[in-house]
Chains A and B, each alone.
Chain A
Amino acid sequence: MSGLPPPRLHLLGDAALLCELPAPATLVQQQRIWALAAEAREWPGVGEVLPGMNNLTLTFDPTAIELDALTAQVLEAWPKLSAKAVEGRLVEIPVAYGGEHGPDLGDVAAHTGLTPAEVVRRHSAGEYVVYLLGFLPGFAFMGGLAPELATPRRAEPRTAVPARSVGIGGEQTGIYPLVSPGGWQIIGRTSLEMFDPTAESPTLLRPGDRVRFVVESVET
């Protein structure tokens, strides 16, 4: 049973419903978000489910299900959701840290007061959780960065961060699936494709997955 407060519901236009939980965002709340997403996508009239951070957006066809009915369905389902409904996988991501692949490793070290080797050790020691995908296809917003590794974004964002770059932005860490403008501190690069539109499962990561970074090489 869930002792969590129910979500605040708000229309997002005439064909989407936002379900938002009270702050702060926690993993326990996010697990309920995934569970609600998994259940709601089976409901007649519901189109897409889109987990955000501490919230879920449902698109729906208002000619197939009325807003009042959908609202009632969410509030009825909410207390019965299981936090274990979505069983994420453990995904290991090899990373070449530093050097040309991680040009900002030195800046992160300077900001955190750690040596570059220690930044790498701590970054690869953590286990991260994929809260949601957004921003770009396959881009995972992950929780679990060691607080001492938090580093502000670069004052001048890059116009083109290479694909598969691993970065730190504020209190988050993540991987750029594609070449993209970006302001995160780039500390390494993985050889894994994060996004392949022709694959049966187009993104390497999915909400609920756990991630470990495995040191492939370090250049300091």
Chain B
Amino acid sequence: MIVVQKPGLLASVQDLGRHGHRQLGICPGGALDVLALTLANRLVGNVDGAAGLELTMGGCEVRFETDTRIALAGDDFGAQLDGVPLWPCWSVPVAAGQVLKLSGANAAGAKKAGLRSWLAIAGGIDVAPVLGSRSTDLKAGFGGHEGRALRKGDKLPLGTSRLDAAQRTRKPFGLRGPDWGPEEADSAIALRVLPGPEFEQFTLAAREVLWGERWRITSQSNRMGSRLAGTELKRKRAGDMLSSGVIPGTIQVPPSGQPIILMGDAQTTGGYPRIGVVIRADLWKLAQAPLSGKLRLVQVDMAEALAAWAEQQRYLAQVAQGLAVAGWPGAA
């Protein structure tokens, strides 16, 4: 069992998401950075689909009531386990009674840090699955722990770990985190984007702005979407759209002309024109992009999107291979 001593801005139980129910209006939710949760889970010997905690902007404390093993991925926010730094993508043993603290400040190692962290614990958070997932649907109020964000004092049960005693207590080890790509001159984060179904409805000038602008992520962003600020994106003609499916990564443009990139908790259908869609391989960067940070949107085609996806899968396969060589349980 673990105890939430301080939840920070927003802490919730999340796994890889609740899939297969979109046509009932149920959003996929889940960890916004699936890659980070997957890495953290593998580092503690969990299956990829085990539930962990998604933490927002540090400021949280978790106490472990049993001997276990943990890994943190994403931004570390100066994480310390009883005063000892815990680096992202490291797997460390934990003794009952130890406390993990995330402050507000980032360690020097986390270059682009600034928004979210994912914590995996051996065995995973063992709340009851609802509709096939342990993720918390914060808007609809079900799943996860009592269908809500975590509060001070919440106690969360852990599932059965796949690590034996020798593995659980093995000395800390880490792996190379995912690649952010080349550093942008103004430290903007580049997201690769496929033009959306309504791309052509925007003026030529707007389409140039889309690719040329340094978009600022506003503080109105949340698990439903990242709201961007920049030059207004104008359509050739105003007009209502009929309700149509949206998925995480969809860049929709409301009448204000300020785009919103939808994330896991967004509603399943929308009525705003979709100027583009962030490719799957880059969604994790958006999940970690700090508020007030800058984004650059880079146009790609389907072949480039699929190549990026394949590259990410290769990285995950290398991680799995490395852990297998070290005698760790398989990812499955």
Q: Is the CB–CB distance between A12 and B277 below 8 Å?
A: yes
Pairwise interchain contact B278-A178, C-beta atoms closer than 8 A: no
Q: Tell me which of A25, A48, A54 contacts B19 (CB under 8 A).
A: A48
What are 26 contact pairs spanning A and B, CB under 8 A?
A12-B196, A13-B194, A14-B306, A48-B19, A48-B22, A50-B22, A50-B23, A50-B268, A51-B23, A52-B243, A55-B242, A56-B245, A63-B306, A63-B309, A132-B243, A134-B268, A134-B269, A135-B268, A137-B25, A137-B140, A138-B24, A197-B131, A197-B137, A197-B142, A202-B21, A202-B131
Task: Give A13 Cβ to nearest chain B Cβ, in Å.
Answer: 4
A10, A11, A20, A52: most-surrounded residue (chain B CB, <10 A): A52
Interface string of A38-66 (1 = CB under 8 A from B): 00000000011111111111010011000
Give the nearest-CB partner of A59 in chain B: B247
**Bound state CA distance, A202 and B267, in angstroms?**
17
Contact of B245 among A50, A62, A207 (CB under 8 A): A50
Q: Could you tell me if B302 and A12 are in contact, using CB atoms closer than 8 angstroms?
A: no
Q: Is A198 positioned at the interface, with any CB of B under 8 Å from its CB?
A: yes
Q: Which residues of A contact B277 (CB under 8 A)?
A: 11-14, 16
A137-B26, A197-B143, A202-B26 known; A52 and B269 CB under 8 Å? yes
B23 touches which one: A10, A136, A207 (CB < 8 A)?
A207
Residues of the B chain whose Cβ atoms lie less than 8 Å from the Cβ of A37: 23
Interface status of A133 (Cβ within 8 A of chain B): yes
A203 within 8 A of B: yes
B250 interface neighbour in A12, A133, A206, Cβ under 8 Å: A12
- Nearest neighbor of B26 in chain A, beta-carbon distance: A137
Contact A50 B309 (CB under 8 A): no
Q: Which residues of A contact B269 (CB under 8 A)?
A: 50, 52, 132, 134-135, 141
Beta-carbon contact of B302 and A53 below 8 Å: no
Q: Taking A54-B242, A197-B143 as contacts, is the C-beta distance between A48 and B20 under 8 angstroms?
A: yes
B245–A12 CB distance below 8 A: yes
**Shortest distance from the beta carbon of A100 to any chain B beta carbon, whole Å:** 23
Q: Is the CB of B140 within 8 A of A16?
A: no
Tally inter-chain residue pairs, CB-CB below 8 A. Answer: 135
Pairwise interchain contact B23-A13, C-beta atoms closer than 8 A:
no
Determine if B194 and A195 form an interchain contact, defined as CB atoms under 8 angstroms apart: no
Whether the pair A53, B245 counts as a contact (CB closer than 8 A) is no
Query: Is B279 located at the chain interface by the 8 A CB criterion?
Result: yes
Interfacial chain A residues near B140, Cβ < 8 Å: 136-137, 178, 195, 197
A residues with a Cβ closer than 8 A to B are 10-16, 18, 20, 23, 25, 37, 47-57, 59, 62-63, 67, 132-139, 141, 177-178, 195, 197-198, 202-203, 206-207
* B249 interface hit (Cβ, 8 Å): yes
Asked whether any CB of chain A lies closer than 8 Å to the CB of B305, the reply is yes
For B278, what are the chain A residues with a Cβ–Cβ distance below 8 Å?
Answer: 13
Least Cβ–Cβ distance between B26 and chain A, in angstroms: 5
On chain B, the residues within 8 Å of A202 by CB distance are 21, 24, 26, 131
Residue in A48, A57, A177 whose beta carbon sits within 8 Å of that of B244 in the complex? A57
Supply 5 further A-B pairs (C-beta < 8 A) apart from A133-B24, A137-B140, A195-B140: A12-B274, A13-B280, A59-B247, A141-B243, A202-B21
Chain B 276-315 interface 0/1 with A at a Cβ cutoff of 8 Å (1 = within)? 0111100000000000000000000010011001100000
Bound Cα distance A135, B24 (Å): 10
**A62 nearest in chain B by CB position:** B306
Cβ-neighbour of B280 out of A14, A25, A141 (below 8 A): A14
For the complex formed, measure the closest distance between the CB of A89 and the CB atoms of chain B, giving whole angstroms.
Answer: 15
**B280 engages A134 (CB within 8 Å):** no
A206 to B24, CA, bound (A): 7
Write the nearest CB–CB distance from B255 to chain A, whole angstroms.
15
The 0/1 profile, CB within 8 Å of A marked 1, for residues 236-277 of chain B is 000000111111011000000000000000011100001001
Judged by a CB distance under 8 angstroms, whether B139 is at the interface is: yes
Report B-chain residues with C-beta under 8 Å of the C-beta of A141: 243, 269
Is A134 a contact of B197 with CB atoms below 8 Å? Answer: no
The reply to whether A20 and B197 contact each other, CB–CB distance below 8 Å, is yes
